[in-house]
Amino acid sequence: MDFIGRVAIVTGAGGGLGRSYAWELAWRGAKVVVNDLGGSVDGTGASTKAADVVVEAITQAGGEAVANYESVATAAGGEAIVEAALESFGQVDIVINNAGILRDRSFANLTWEEIDGVVNTHLLGAFNVSQPAFRAMKEANYGRFVFTSSNAGLFGNFGQANYGAAKAGLVGLSNVIAIEGAKYGIQSNVIAPVARTRMTEQLLGPMAELVEPLQVTPMVVFLCSEQNPFTHEIFTAGGGRYGRIFIGTNNGWFAGRGVFPTVDHIASHLDEIRDISSYEIPLSSNEEIMIIGRALAAPPSGVIPDARRWVEVNISRDLFADQMEPGEEANEGFTHWVSLPDYLPNILKDPDLAQDLTPLLDELKKHPEISQAVHYDREVVAVTTSMASEDLRSLVAAFLQPHIAVDWQKADRRPFDLDGSTFAAGYPGPRTTIE
């Protein structure tokens, strides 16, 4: 696998993982911008030596590289790093966002300077370099990004709230770049490395000798290659072990379409809500929304058995207690509400109908799928065997339409918009949101 004709930017390449990435890419033919501020682990100070030493080693071995000493923590610095690649080599194909610092302290004692410095370097630093690079890649219809996250950001680690928050943010940034860059041939992935560097030696303890940067490098270099088919993913590498980390969603518990569960319902279904025996990995926010959409579109008996009990029997029993004969039990089923607007009496031919909806309730009860129906405050409430909430809205609208005093045909719109967000959308009064 070679990188001949490719140009790579590696931030934080003066030592540790970044140096290893830069060497490997250059050895395989890439032209490399070796960026390093040359500061200490906590981000203070600056020196050209770190980047210069790496560039000298690459060029002496016959490779091509230029040093860059800009700070990634500023937008101007990020622009300058990308400009160095364009001026020196004419293009940008690969960006490895690796630069970082540590300012560890327990959460309660963190200072703003410790938070600001770490977030600026890790998260905003990656943004500052990646945005101008993305623009160049977009023009070329090709690009590879690798963002360096951490198990501290993905899983948490004591004393690293600033670092963990920044590293978790990089996952979100990479995901969006992967989505927006897909049609331009731009891929973006995340590496969560475990390796001995000057930043991690104290954290790893005795294990440090067993996890070398060179063991992480092959995974990262592959992600930078033309042969890599993956994007929008997170990989872990350390000590010779390589794997995928992912964010997924389980099947969960579906209460039912149009249902408003209580806190008690949530408490009684926690096992299903937390069960990870089956899961999906959405590749965008839309895909996660589609999972919810599939549940909403499923028949009542689908997805999970509990969906057949959208609201527990006791809810129906309490609601319809004054409507039942002594000893009568409320029917099990789906409970749906249709909100009625305050101004309903003003648009009815017979305003009293808004106060006594017995004719409507009688009509609803004739439907074979409706077992109970009441007028409760400003709500028409019905218990059905399988009817969807929008079907109940349609029945209510169909009943009320002949009783409306306004000439809705001239208004060229339906009297009651019951299929979404508003009620009586055409009426020149207030618009009432369906609750």
Average pLDDT, the chain: 80
Distance, CA of 358 to CA of 373 (rounded, Å): 10
**Distance between CA 81 and CA 51 in Å, rounded?**
13
**C-alpha atoms less than 13 angstroms from C-alpha of 408 in its C-beta half-sphere:** 18
By residue count, the chain amounts to 435
254-279 burial by CB neighbour count: b if 16+ within 10 A, else e? Answer: bbbbbbebeeebeeebeeeeeeeeee
pLDDT tens, position by position, 60-77: 999 999 999 999 999 999
Percent of the chain with pLDDT over 90: 48
DSSP secondary structure code for residue 262 in this structure: -
CA–CA separation, 101 and 335 (whole Å): 55
State yes or no: pLDDT of 138 exceeds 50. yes
User: Which two structure tokens, joined as six digits, stand for 28?
Assistant: 């395989």
pLDDT above 60: residue 317: no
> Catalytic site residues?
163
pTM equals: 0.67
**Alpha carbon 144 to chain centroid, angstroms:** 21
Distance CA 422, CA 306 (A): 30
- What is the C-alpha separation between 173 and 168, in angstroms, rounded? 9
> Given a cut of 90, is residue 3 above it in pLDDT?
yes
The residue written with tokens 């309903």 in the block is 344
What pLDDT, on a 0 to 100 scale, did the predictor assign at position 376? 61
Q: List C-alpha distances in Å: 49 to 13, 46, 78, 115, 299.
A: 12, 9, 20, 27, 67
If one compares 170 and 293, the residue with the highest pLDDT of the two is 170
Radius of gyration of the chain (CA): 31
Q: Specify the higher pLDDT residue, 389 or 380.
A: 380
Indicate if the pLDDT at residue 409 is higher than 90: no
Bridge-based pairing of strands 279-280 and 370-376 is unpaired
Q: What is the pLDDT of residues 155-198, one digit of tens each?
A: 998 888 999 999 999 999 999 999 999 999 999 999 999 876 55
pLDDT at 299: 46
Q: What is the DSSP letter of 404?
A: B
User: Greater confidence, 434 or 286?
Assistant: 286
**Cα(241)–Cα(215) distance, rounded to whole angstroms?**
8
Mean pLDDT of 111-140: 95
Taking each helix axis as running N to C, give the angle between helix 49-60 and helix 16-27, from 0 to 180 degrees, rounded to the nearest 10. 20
Query: The domain at 7-246 falls in which architecture?
Result: 3-Layer(aba) Sandwich (3.40)
